[in-house]
Amino acid sequence: MTDPPDLDRGVLRTLLTDVVTGALARGGLNGCLDGAIARARQIGGCCSVFVFDVDHFKTVNDAYGHARGDVVLRSIVERAKGVVREADVLVRYGGDEFVLVLPETDAVEALQVATRLVDAIGTKPFPGSPPLSVSISLGLATFPDDAADRQSLIELADRRNYLAKRRGRGRAVGDDLQASGRRSSERLLERDAALAVVRDFLVRLDVSGRGALRVAGERGAGHSRFLAEVGKLARLRGFEVVDGVAEPAGHAERVLVLADTDADLADVGRRVRRLASSVRVVGLVQAVHDPAGPVPQALPLLDTAVLTPLSESALHVWLRTTLRGEPTRELVHWLARRSGGFIAQAERGLTQLAGRGHLEQGGNGDWGVSAAAVARADNARRRLPAAVSSLVGRARDVSRLTDLLAERRLVTLTGAGGIGKTRLAVAVAGAVADEFADGAVFVSLAEATTTEMVVSAVAAVLEVPEGTNEPLTDAVIRALSGLELLLVLDNFEHVLSAGSFVAALLAAAPGVCVLATSRQRLRLTGEQVYPVGPLPVPDLDRLPSRPEEADEALASWPALALFVSRATEAVYGLTFSAADLRAAAEVCVRLDGLPLAIELTAANCDVLSPTQILAQLDVRSELPAAGPQDLPARQRTLRATIDWSFALLDADDQELLTRLAVFAGGCTADAVAAICLPSDETTERLAKRLTGLVDRNLLGARHTEDGLRYTMLETIRAYAGERLTDEQVTARHTSYFAEFAARADRGLGGHDGAAWYARVSREYLNLRAAHTRAMADADLLTAARIVLGVNRFWQKGWHIREGREWHRRLLAEDGLPEGVRGRVMDSAAFLAIKQDDQATARTLGEESLRIGRRLGDHDLMAQSLNVVGLVARQSGDLDQARAYFGECVEIEQAHGKRDNVLAAARGNLSIIARFEGDLHTARDLMRHNVELDRVVGNLRTLLLDLVGLGDVCVDLRDAAAARPLLTEAVEISRQIGDMGGEAYACHILGRLTRLEGDPVEAYRLYTAAIRIHHGFGDRFAVLYTLSSLVDLLSTVDATSAARMLGAVEVIREQDGSPMTKHQLAVRDGTVRRIRAVLTDAELDAATAAGAAMDLDALVACAFEVDPAAFA
C-alpha cells in the first residue's frame, strides 16, 4: 500500500487504527500483506498469516454486555502484542476476528508463534469483575508453501481456523487434515462433528433415496436438542420433517422422519415402510442410547452420529451463559464430575446445587461451589454391584422409577423370584446416584434373618463402627441423618420385621431414600410399591416373516430381545433365521417372559438351537405345572426351567452345582476345590466346569484381589440347596473356614493385613455359616478356632456386637478345654474394652489370667496381662497397670519372644510414662517398639506405635520428628482400613498442625478424629481429643470453651479417666486463658451449663463450632 503524499506514516497509522482494540483497522490489511508477499518474493523467502477469533465470544457479550466484551478484545490485543515481534502486524478483521501478518516467517516458526499466542490468551484469566477465561482458535497459512497470493492465503488460514474449532477450539492449526467427526475421544465443545455426519447423511440420502441415520449417546446427551437441529438442517435442504407420529403433507416428495429415544420402534418402522411406498426420498433419524442398537431395517443404515460428552471447557461456556456470570474452575470441575459432560445432568446438578445453598456468588460476581459441596462430592459413595451384562427391556421401568424416586422416599420393587428385581434396582440406582449428594449404596440382605443382622449389614456397608454408648441402630441412623443418599436394600422379604428400622431411618434422615426389593411389600407409611412384571412376550401371530423386520420384533418384544441377547453372548457370531426367531419367540411365551428363566434357557444355545430347545420343552409339555403345585404359576414355570437347565448338565456338573449351594456369599475356586470336588479333580478341569456353569447363567463370576469369585443367585442357590444332602460337603465347609480363620489371625497381624481384612470381609458370611454349623453340632473347638481367628477383624469395629455374641455363646457351653476357654475369654475381654465395657473386660481378663497361671501357659498369661493392664490404665490405676505390663514384658523377654504382645506391653508402659510426665522414657520405649514392629510386620501395632511416638514428639515440641511419623501412620491406617488408628493419627496431627500455626486445619483434624472415636464408643479417646479442641477454642471463644470444659471435666470424673501430666498442664493453660476473659460469675455459669451435658451433647457442640472463628 502507498501512503498519500500529504500524510506522513504516523498520521496514516492513527487513521487506520481500530479505536476499540488498538489493532490495525481492516483497511490496512491488504497493503501490509501484499508488502510482506512482495518482500518474500524479492528475497526468495517466506511470510505467514494467522486468522484467529475468540471462542464463544457471544456468551461474553450476552453475560456481561458489549462494554465488557470490548475490554476483553482490547486486552487480547495487548497480550498478543506482548507475544509477537515488532515487525508483525495485528489487524482487527471484524467483530472478535483478527488477522496477524508475519513477514519473513516460515511455517515452522509461525507455528511456534501461534502456539505461544494461544497459550498467552488461554492460560491466564483476564482481569475484571469477575475475571474471565477465554480461548482462541487460530488457523495459519504460509507463502509460498500454502498459497501464492493474498486472497488465497487468507482463505486458507480461515479454513484452518474452522478446523481448529472442529478439533476442539483453544488451539492452532496449520494443516488441512480433517479431524474425524466420529472420534468421541475429541469431546468437541459443540456438535460440529455429529452435525458433519448429518450433513453427509442428507447428501447421501438425496442420492440413494432411502436411508437411516442412528444418533447414539448416553442418557442426557441431548438427543432431543440435537434432533431439533437436524430438523433445521433438513428443512434448509428442502425436506419435509416430521416426528415419529405426525403425518407428512400429501404432496411431499422428500420426507425425513425424526424418532426420539422414547419412540416405539415398531410403529416407526411401519410408518417408514408406508412412506417408502409412496414418497421419492424417505429418511429416518433415530435417536438411541446404544450405538449398536436396532433401527427399523425397512431402510438401510447409512451412518451413525455419536453425541459425545462435553469437555470442561464446553461446560465453562454453558455455565457462563446459564448463570450470566463467570464460573470458577472449581464449579466447572465439580459439575463436570457430577454430570459426566452431559447437559441434562448438568442442569439437574446446577439446580440441586442452588437449591441446597451451595451455589455461591463471589464479591467480584463470579459463581462458585461451596467447600462443603466439594468435600461432600469427594466423599460420595457409589457402591453398587458391577453389571456383568446389559439390562434388556426395562428402559421404561428405569425411567418411571427414576421419576418416582424424585417424589417418594421409599419405593419397593415387588415380584416373584427371577423376575429381575435386583438387576432393575441396581440399574435405577446407577441412573440416579449422582442426584444424591452422598451417592448410592447397595446392601444385600440375602443372608439376614433378623432386624439386628439387617442393621449390621447396613452399618458394614456404610462403615459405621459399632460402639457401646448407643445401640447400633441409633448409630446407623445418626450416621445417615445428615446424608443425601440412596440406600438399596435387596431381598427384604427375608426380614420384613426390619421394616420398623427402615421407618425410623426415614423419619430421622430426611435426605435418605430407600429402594427395596422384596417379594412382598414392606407395609410402611409412605411406601410406593412398584410391581415388576415379566417382560412382554411376542405375539406369535405378528412375528416378522422377513429378515429385515427382525430388529423391529426385538424392539417390540423385550422377552425376545433378551433371549437373542443372551444367546449371542453365549455363542459369538450367532445369527437367527426366521425359523430360529419364531422358535425363540415360542420359548419366551412358554417361559411367561420371566427374565431368569429366559437367560437360563438362552445360555444353552451353544449346544442347542432355538428350535431344538423348543422341541425339548415340547417334550416336557407340562412345564408350567412342574415343581410344587402350591407355588404360583410363574414360580412353577421358573422352577421347571431350572429343572430343565439342571437336567442338561452332566452328572458331575449337577453334583458340583448342588454342592456349591453350601457357600454363603460366594466362593473362590480354591474353596470349591477343597470342599466340593474329589481329590483327583485337576485345577484345569475345575476351571472349565465352573466356566461352563457361568456360561449357562447358573453361576456369576466377578474379579477380586484373590482372583475370580463365584456367586449364585438366591433362587438357584435355594434350588440347589434342596438337593444338598451330602453331610461330608457341609463338614468340609466348616473345617475349611475354621482353617481359613486361623490363617486370617496370622494374616491380619502381618504385613499383608490390609488384604486379609478385605479377604475376611468377603468371606464373613461363610465364616458365619461355618460357626453356626459348628455350634449346632456342638463342635466347640472348631467354633473356638473361628472366633479366635476373626477377633482381629472385629477389633476394627465391624460386626463387633455379633463377635461378642459369638464369644458369649461359646463361653456359655461346657466342654471347652481350659486353655482354649482362657484364650476365648481373653479375646472376649479385648472386644469388651473396644466397646468401653470395662467391668466385663476386667472379669474376663482376670479369669483368663488365672487360667494361664494355673496351666503355666506363658503365652496366655502375657496376653491376659496386657488386657487387665489396659483395664487398670483406663480406670486410672497406673501403679497396677504398670505392674501388669511390666510382668508381661518380663515373661516375653524370658522366653525370647519378639512379637506383638511384647510391643503392646511396651507401648502401654510408654503411655504410663507420659501420664507421669516422663516424656524421654516414653519416647525411648516407643522408638524400640517401632523397630520391633517393623521386624514383626504387624502393621496395626506399627500404626499405633508411630502415632504414640509422634504424640510424644509433639509434647516435646519436636515438629520435625513428629511429621514423618504421623504421615506414615495415616498411610498405614488407610492401607489396612483401621479407622480407629486413623482417628488417633488425626488427633495428633491436629496437635502438630496447631503447633505449626494452622488452627483451622487443627480444628478440622480434631473433629474428624472425634467423629470416628465417638462412633466406636471409645469415650477415653473422645475426651482426650475434646480436651485438645477445647484448648484451641479457648483462644477465640472463652464462653463456649468454658461450657465444653465443664462437660469434659464432669464426664472424665464419672468415667474415672486419668490424665497425663502434659494433659493436666494443657488443661491448666485452657483455664488460665478462659479466666483472662471471663469474670468468675461468667465462668461458673458456663461450666455449670456444660456440666449438665452428656457426651453426645458435648460432641454435638464440638461440631457446631464455626471453623472460620480460628482464621
**Distance (Å, whole) CA 1065 – CA 914:** 12
On the question of pLDDT at 619 being above 60, the answer is no
Nearest CA to 672 out of 648, 696, 694, 650 is that of 694
207 contacts 237 by C-beta, under 8 angstroms? no
> What pLDDT score was predicted for residue 959?
92
- Using CA atoms in the order 888, 893, 896, 899, what is the torsion angle rounded to 10 degrees? 50
Pick left, alpha or beta for residue 918 (phi over 0 → left; psi -120 to 50 → alpha; otherwise beta). beta
> What pLDDT score was predicted for residue 533?
85
- Mean pLDDT estimate for the chain: 83
On the question of pLDDT at 269 being above 90, the answer is no
* Residue scoring higher pLDDT (287 or 35): 35
On the question of pLDDT at 388 being above 70, the answer is no
User: Among 316-325, 514-523, 827-836, 1078-1087, which is the least confidently predicted range?
Assistant: 316-325
**Distance (Å, whole) CA 732 – CA 729:** 5
Where do we find the cell 434342596? 722
**Distance (Å, whole) CA 708 – CA 730:** 22
> What pLDDT score was predicted for residue 629?
45
Domains and CATH numbers, the chain: 9-173 (3.30.70.270), 190-306 (3.40.50.300), 312-379 (1.10.8), 382-531 (3.40.50.300), 540-623 (no CATH), 651-724 (1.10.10.10), 998-1111 (no CATH)
> What pLDDT score was predicted for residue 861?
95
Nearest CA to 927 out of 974, 973, 888, 965 is that of 965
On the question of pLDDT at 415 being above 80, the answer is yes
604 contacts 641 by C-beta, under 8 angstroms? no
Nearest CA to 561 out of 387, 389, 397, 393 is that of 393
> What pLDDT score was predicted for residue 291?
53
- Provide the whole-model pTM: 0.58
Model confidence band, residue 916 (pLDDT cutoffs 50, 70, 90): confident
- Cell of residue 57, nine digits: 465470544
Model confidence band, residue 620 (pLDDT cutoffs 50, 70, 90): very low
| List of residues 6+ apart from 497 with CB closer than 8 A | 450, 451
> What pLDDT score was predicted for residue 552?
66
**For the residues 287-298, what does the mean pLDDT come to?**
61
Percent of the chain clearing pLDDT 70 (strictly above): 89
> What pLDDT score was predicted for residue 540?
78
Measure the CA angle with vertex 898, ends 893 and 900; round to 5°.
Answer: 115
* Residue scoring higher pLDDT (750 or 790): 790
On the question of pLDDT at 221 being above 90, the answer is no
**For the residues 915-941, what does the mean pLDDT come to?**
86
pLDDT digits (tens, 9 = 90+) for 170-199: 888 887 654 333 232 233 345 677 888 888
> What pLDDT score was predicted for residue 896?
81
User: Among 360-374, 482-496, 630-644, 819-833, which is the least confidently predicted range?
Assistant: 630-644
Distances (CA, A) of 82 to 78, 90, 97, 120: 6, 12, 18, 9
pLDDT digits (tens, 9 = 90+) for 839-870: 999 999 999 999 999 999 999 999 999 999 99
> What pLDDT score was predicted for residue 21?
92
User: Among 258-262, 574-578, 625-629, 1009-1013, which is the least confidently predicted range?
Assistant: 625-629
Model confidence band, residue 1027 (pLDDT cutoffs 50, 70, 90): very high
Report the relative pairing of strands 359-361 and 527-531 from DSSP bridges: unpaired
> What pLDDT score was predicted for residue 6?
39
> What pLDDT score was predicted for residue 1032?
94
| List of residues 6+ apart from 494 with CB closer than 8 A | 445, 446, 448, 449
On the question of pLDDT at 425 being above 80, the answer is yes
Which helix (H) or strand (E) segment holds residue 444: the answer is: strand 439-444
**For the residues 146-163, what does the mean pLDDT come to?**
89
Residues in the chain: 1111
Half-sphere exposure of 79 (CA within 13 A, CB side): 22
On the question of pLDDT at 383 being above 60, the answer is yes
Exposure class string for 21-37: b at 16+ Cβ within 10 A, else e: bebbbbebbebbbeebb
- Cell of residue 156, nine digits: 486458507
On the question of pLDDT at 506 being above 60, the answer is yes
- Cell of residue 849, nine digits: 489370667
> What pLDDT score was predicted for residue 950?
94
Q: Which residues pair with 254 in a beta bridge?
A: 281
Nearest CA to 335 out of 371, 292, 368 is that of 368
Measure the CA angle with vertex 133, ends 124 and 343; round to 5°.
Answer: 140
Handedness of CA 1052, 1058, 1061, 1062 (dihedral sign): negative
Amino acid 900 reads N
Report the relative pairing of strands 381-383 and 439-444 from DSSP bridges: parallel
Which helix (H) or strand (E) segment holds residue 203: the answer is: helix 192-208
Exposure class string for 92-127: b at 16+ Cβ within 10 A, else e: bbeebbbbbbbbebbbeebbebbeebbebbbeeebe
User: Among 146-160, 364-378, 955-969, 988-1002, which is the least confidently predicted range?
Assistant: 364-378
512 contacts 411 by C-beta, under 8 angstroms? no
* Residue scoring higher pLDDT (160 or 381): 160
User: Among 74-83, 135-144, 202-211, 949-958, which is the least confidently predicted range?
Assistant: 202-211
> What pLDDT score was predicted for residue 299?
77
Measure the CA angle with vertex 989, ends 983 and 994; round to 5°.
Answer: 130
